[in-house]
Structure formats: C-alpha cells, structure tokens
C-alpha cells in the first residue's frame, strides 16, 4: 500500500520510511498525510487504517521565524517524517535503528547539521536520538565516526581519481554491483583498457590546466586484479600522480598473484583489499563465491610481504548464516588483524527477498552487526566511515573500521561528499564538489562496457566539460 501525501515533494521520503518499517511486506493499511498551516504554526495529520476503521493522528509544531525557504522545507520534512515514525512505531510496536532517517549517509547528515550551525558538535549524539529517534547505539557510532574523520580537507582544487574495472572472474549471487563475468567480455578487455587510457589522457590535461591536485587514487570494481599482470602494468604505468593513498580493490583472492602484487607495488599502490565475505566454506558454496579460505590466507600472507595496508570485507546476513558462524568469521579476521575491516549488512535486490527463503535469520543479523561493531572496537579498531544502502536487512548499515590511523581517505571523501572525484570507466560516476556554494554535481559514464567503448569520445567530451 503506497502512502498518499497532500504535499507530493515529501512523498518519496515518507514512502521510504514506510518501506523500512515493513521491509518487503506490504503495508497492511492505507496511510494518508495532510498538513495545515497558520503562520508559523503547522498541523501534521496522518490518516491510518483500512475500510471504515481509519484513525486520525495529529501533531502540532511551530516553525522558527525568518528562516530561508530551503531550511523551512527541510524542517517540515523532518517534522512530518518524525510524526509518521512515531505513529508507525506505536502501531507496529517496533523501533528502527536509524529512527526517521532514511538517507544513505547518516554521518554526512550529522556533519551538515553541525556545519550549518543548527547543532553544537558536542550535542550531535543526543540531537539524533531526541529529534530523529535514532537509537543511542547508532548515535554513538555516528559521534565516533565523526571524531575519526579529521583528515577531511575541503578544498575545491583537491580531487580524487577513480577508475572502474567492472569485470569479475565469476558472479557471486548476492552481489549488488554491476559487473560482467570475464568470459563474457574477454575479447573486449584490451579495448576497454585502451579506452580507459584515452579517458585518462584527456583528464590529465584538464588536471594540469585547472591546477587540480590529485589527493587519492582508487581502482575499484568489480575485481581489478581480474586483469593479468601485463594489463595491470599497461594501465598503472600511466597513472603517475604522487599520492600517499592509492587503493586497488583486489577483492577476490583467486585473482591475486605475486606478479600482480609486484606490478601494484612498483606503481605506488599503498592499499589493497582481499575480501573473505565469510570464512565459512559451506556459505561460500551457497553464495556462489568461487574462492576458498586457503586462497584468502595465502593472498593475505603474500600481501604482507609487500607491506600493503590491507582491507577485508565481510557481510552480515549471507544466506543461511547464523550468529555463531558470523562470530567465527570475525574471530578469524581478528587473528589475521588487517589494518582495515569493512562490515557490510546484506542488501537484497528487492525488498520482497527479505521475507523470502534467503533471509531466514533476520533477528540474527541485527545481533551480528552489533557484535561486530562492539568486538572490533574492543580490539582496537575505530569506525571511520559508514553508509546505508537500499533494501539493507534490518535497515542497518555498512561500516569501515581501521586500526593504527590507517583510514582510507577516499572512502571518507566519497561517503561524506567532501571532495570531487574524477571517475573513469564504465559505470563510473564523477562528482564535482563546490564547497563554498555547498553544492554537488554528478556526471555518469555509460553503465556497461560495450556502450562505454562505443561511446568513448562522447564520455571524454562530457568529462572534460564537466571538470573545466
Ligand atoms: C564493489 S564490491 C567489490 C569487491 C570484490 N569484487 C570482491 O568481491 O571481493 C565491494 C563489496 O561490496 C560488498 N557487497 C557486494 N554485494 C553486496 C550486497 N548485496 N550486500 C552487502 N554487501 C555487498 C562485498 O562485501 C564486496 O566486497
Ligand atoms: S567478485 Fe565482487 S564485484 Fe564481482 S560479483 Fe562477486 S562480490 Fe560482486
């Protein structure tokens, strides 16, 4: 059942909130929102029910005087969403970890409140709890993350460079990213690299002309190390910016070889990821991820020889996993003790899957995320960036942890929208941040490799214009 809002501009956010309460179930009653206003006094009305049994819930609030139109709109939205949250929470007898917040970047939301002067920094945690119904644990998490983001520099001349390799050795069946299997695009890989290099050449000119300074580089995917060592050499030898943070998301251990790591090291890569997702081999089979624990451990030992900062991704909520298995994965991770660990919560392709066969142990997933966050912090890891995705089980989040000051600044920049990103390749989305105007523009490339190759000149022209 869809929510009906008198004021259409709030409908999407209100609907997102309804969806978070019902997670794939159909909302069993109709909801209508109306509002009335007399000067600064606003009345929010919710009509909830079905057939003849419709209940009316009212809430009044007063808007401050002399505020701009944009702030007024955001306050109205906040009050209407809070009202809806309170009503649904009492009807469903349920609270949500992120309260009435529906956006994907809670820490950016908190940072904006502070930067606009609406909330004093030391009061942000209690404000999230009091004004947005965020749980006290999640509010504490936000406070900790903001404290660990000291590396943010807002300067329109600083840019991050991102290259996308949306190719994988095989598809994992839970994956929510667009990426092609190598065997489907094998004949196009060389051409894809040529197009990437062509785009890079054009971008290099803009960087020089506009005196941009490249702060961080990130090659993501997909699985960039699906390329062979010659192909990696061909690509990396052209990326010559002297940065202190250069990540290559290797990800799949079965693609990592000594030769490839040598190429990465030679060209200044400082950080790689080797992602187990889980250390349960039965789960790996179930989720169609064709790697083994031995491959992950071997790749990790090899990476240590090269002195890379290593990140490891895990996912809470993989098909069939209960809390006990997840705890074992976490304890293996702690034995390995990588500098970065990212804990994801499973995000499903459509909300209906949450109530389907796959997500049998939903209650365990909340416990897994709580357990991971607490255990990692008890073991010296600090949370330093986070984001939420659509259809994430339990309305939870993904959190990146680091130890010993090994934050990945690129991850912070991308999630907090604090730096422009020049993004190359199929599926890459460039972002230009205008800090003084508090404005962001985005510019996407074609999603798929074939289109990207056939329209490369158009991609380049748009990119050059976008950053000029
Ligand atoms: C862009 S993917 C690339 C990683 C690399 N190809 C690998 O598989 O190791 C980055 C991470 O997103 C996470 N991820 C992918 N699909 C997900 C999903 N449906 N729900 C939660 N996390 C997901 C995984 O932890 C994955 O390591
Ligand atoms: S290898 Fe990584 S990007 Fe590729 S399908 Fe699996 S999780 Fe997704």
Residue 349 pLDDT greater than 90, yes or no: no
How many domains is the chain partitioned into structurally?
3
Q: Is residue 468 part of a domain?
A: no
| Per-residue pLDDT band at 90 (split at 50, 70, 90) | very high
Is the pLDDT confidence value at 87 over 80? Answer: yes
Task: Say whether pLDDT at 436 is over 70.
Answer: yes
Q: pLDDT confidence of 426, banded at 50, 70, 90?
A: very high
Give pLDDT, residue 356: 61
Tally helices (H) and strands (E) across the chain: 17, 17
Dist. CA 175 → ligand 1 center (Å): 6
pLDDT digits 0-9 by tens, 52-77:
899 999 999 999 888 877 888 989 99
Same domain, 344 and 203: yes
Q: Are residues 207 and 169 in the same domain?
A: yes
413 and 456 together in one domain? yes
Is ligand 1 within 6 A of the CB of residue 33?
no
Q: Are residues 447 and 319 in the same domain?
A: yes
What is the per-residue pLDDT for 298? 98
Pair (77, 166) in one structural domain: no
Residue owning the nearest CA to atom 8 of ligand 2: 175
- Strands 382-387 and 41-50 turn out to be unpaired
Quick check: pTM over 0.85?
yes
181: in domain: yes
How would you list the strands of the sheet with 158-165, edge to edge?
A: 382-387, 398-402, 340-345, 309-316, 271-274, 245-251, 213-221, 158-165, 420-424, 429-434, 439-444
Q: What's the confidence (pLDDT) of residue 69? A: 79
The pLDDT score that the predictor gives to residue 362 is 76
pLDDT band at 361 (very low <50, low <70, confident <90, very high): confident
- Decide if 260 contacts 308 (C-beta within 8 A): no
| C-alpha distance from residue 336 to each of 96, 296, 310, 432 (Å) | 33, 11, 10, 38
List, in sequence order, every residue forming a beta bridge with 382; answer none if it has no partner: 402
Average pLDDT over residues 354-382: 85
Residue 307 has pLDDT above 80, yes or no: yes
How high is the pLDDT of residue 289? 96
- Residue-wise pLDDT tens digits, 132-171: 999 999 999 999 999 999 889 999 999 999 999 999 999 9
Both 257 and 404 in one domain: the answer is yes
Q: What is the pLDDT of residue 358?
A: 57
Say which residues have a Cβ less than 8 Å from residue 236's Cβ, sequence separation at least 6.
263, 264, 266, 267, 269
Give me the percent of the chain exceeding a pLDDT of 70: 97
Residue nearest to atom 17 of ligand 1 (CA): 175
Q: What is the pLDDT of residue 324?
A: 97
Q: What is the pLDDT of residue 7?
A: 83
Residue 171 alpha carbon to ligand 2 centre in Å: 6
SS3 257: coil
Q: Among 182, 225, 252, 344, which residue has the most ligand 2 atoms within 8 Å of its CB, making it the best to mutate?
A: 252
Task: Assign 292 a pLDDT band (cuts: 50, 70, 90).
Answer: very high
Ligand nearest to the CA of 181: 2
Pocket of ligand 2 (CB under 6 A): 168, 171-172, 175, 177, 179, 221-223, 251-252
**Mean pLDDT to the nearest integer, 15-34:** 91
Question: What CATH number has the domain bearing residue 376?
Answer: 3.80.30.20
Does 226 map to a domain? Answer: yes
Residue nearest to atom 9 of ligand 1 (CA): 251
Centroid of ligand 2 to alpha carbon of 175 (angstroms): 6
Q: Give the residue, by CA position, lying nearest to ligand 2 atom 5.
A: 171
CATH number for position 48 = 3.10.20
Instruction: Let me know if residue 144 belongs to a domain.
Output: no
In-domain check, residue 309: yes
81 CA distance to ligand 1 centroid (A)?
31
Are residues 454 and 315 part of one domain? yes
pLDDT band for position 390 (cuts 50, 70, 90) = confident
Which has the closest alpha carbon to 257: 219, 310, 295, 289?
295
Clarify whether residues 32 and 122 are in a common domain.
no
How many whole angstroms separate alpha carbon 137 and alpha carbon 394? 15
pLDDT beyond 80 at 432: yes
Residue 355 has a pLDDT of 57
Report the SS3 class of residue 252.
coil
pLDDT at residue 46 tops 90: yes
CA of 417 relative to ligand 2 center, distance in Å: 25
Is 277 in the same domain as 320?
yes
Domain endpoint, select from 94, 124, 147: 94
Mean pLDDT on 329-350:
95
Other beta carbons within 10 angstroms of residue 1's beta carbon come to 12
Is the domain of 453 the same as that of 343? yes
Same domain flag for 106 and 248: no
- Does one domain contain both 241 and 353? yes
Question: Does residue 153 belong to any structural domain of this protein?
Answer: no
> Which positions ≥6 away from 259 have C-beta within 8 Å?
229
Percent of the chain at pLDDT > 90 equals 86
* Domain range for 274: 158-462
**pLDDT mean over 114-133:** 95
Residue 253 CB less than 6 A away from ligand 1: no
In whole angstroms, what is the distance from residue 149 CA to residue 385 CA?
8
Q: Is residue 454 part of a domain?
A: yes
Q: For ligand 1, what atom is nearest to the CA of residue 273?
A: 9
Pocket test for ligand 1, best of 167, 226, 251 (most atoms within 8 A of CB): 251
Mean pLDDT of 72-86: 94
Distances (CA, A) of 299 to 124, 235, 293: 41, 22, 10
Mean pLDDT value across the chain: 94
> How confident is the model over 244-272, as a mean pLDDT?
97
pLDDT given at position 385: 98
The answer to whether residue 360 sits within a structural domain is yes
The Å distance, Cα 223 to ligand 2 centre, comes to 7
Return phi, psi of residue 131, to 5°: -95, -15
The Cα–Cα gap between 310 and 304 comes to 8
């Amino acid at each position: 059942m869809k929510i009906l809002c008198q004021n259409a501009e709030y409908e999407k956010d209100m609907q997102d909130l309804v969806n978070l309460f019902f997670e794939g179930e159909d909302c069993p009653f109709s909801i209508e929102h109306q509002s009335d206003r007399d000067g600064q006094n606003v009345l929010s009305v919710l009509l909830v029910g079905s057939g003849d049994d419709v209940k009316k819930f009212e809430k009044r609030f007063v808007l401050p005087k002399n505020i701009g139109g944009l702030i007024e709109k955001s306050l109205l939205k906040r009050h209407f969403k809070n009202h809806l949250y309170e009503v649904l929470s009492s009807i469903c007898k349920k609270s949500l970890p992120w309260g009435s917040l529906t956006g994907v970047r809670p820490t950016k939301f908190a940072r904006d409140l502070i930067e606009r002067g609406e909330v004093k920094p030391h009061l942000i945690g209690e404000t999230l709890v009091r004004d947005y119904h965020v749980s006290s644990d999640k509010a504490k998490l936000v406070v900790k993350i903001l404290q660990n983001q000291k590396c943010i520099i807002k300067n329109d001349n600083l840019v991050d460079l991102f290259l996308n390799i949306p190719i994988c050795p095989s598809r994992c069946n839970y994956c929510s990213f667009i990426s092609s299997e190598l065997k489907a695009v094998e004949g196009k890989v060389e051409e894809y690299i040529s197009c990437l290099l062509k785009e890079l050449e054009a971008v290099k000119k803009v960087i020089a002309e506009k005196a941009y300074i490249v702060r961080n580089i990130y090659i993501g995917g997909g699985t960039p190390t699906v390329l062979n060592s010659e192909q990696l050499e061909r690509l990396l030898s052209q990326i010559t910016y002297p940065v202190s943070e250069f990540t290559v998301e290797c990800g799949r251990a079965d693609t990592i070889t000594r030769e490839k790591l040598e190429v990465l090291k030679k060209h200044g890569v400082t950080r790689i990821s080797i992602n187990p997702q889980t250390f349960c081999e039965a789960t790996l089979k179930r989720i169609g991820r064709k790697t083994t624990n031995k491959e992950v451990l071997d790749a990790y030992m090899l990476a240590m020889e090269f002195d890379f900062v290593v990140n490891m991704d895990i996912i809470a909520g993989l098909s069939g996993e209960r809390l006990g298995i997840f705890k074992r994965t976490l304890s293996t991770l702690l034995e390995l003790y990588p500098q970065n660990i990212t804990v994801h919560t499973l995000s499903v392709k459509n909300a209906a899957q949450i109530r389907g066969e796959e997500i049998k142990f939903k209650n365990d997933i909340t416990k897994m995320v709580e357990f991971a966050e607490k255990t990692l912090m008890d073991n010296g890891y600090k949370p330093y960036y986070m984001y939420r995705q659509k259809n994430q089980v339990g309305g939870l989040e993904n959190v990146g942890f680091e130890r010993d000051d090994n934050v990945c600044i690129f991850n912070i920049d991308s999630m907090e929208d604090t730096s422009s990103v020049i993004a190359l390749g199929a599926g890459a989305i460039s972002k230009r941040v205008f800090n003084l105007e508090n404005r962001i523009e985005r510019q996407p490339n074609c999603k798929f490799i074939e289109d990207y190759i056939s329209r490369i000149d158009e991609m380049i022209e748009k990119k050059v214009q976008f950053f000029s």
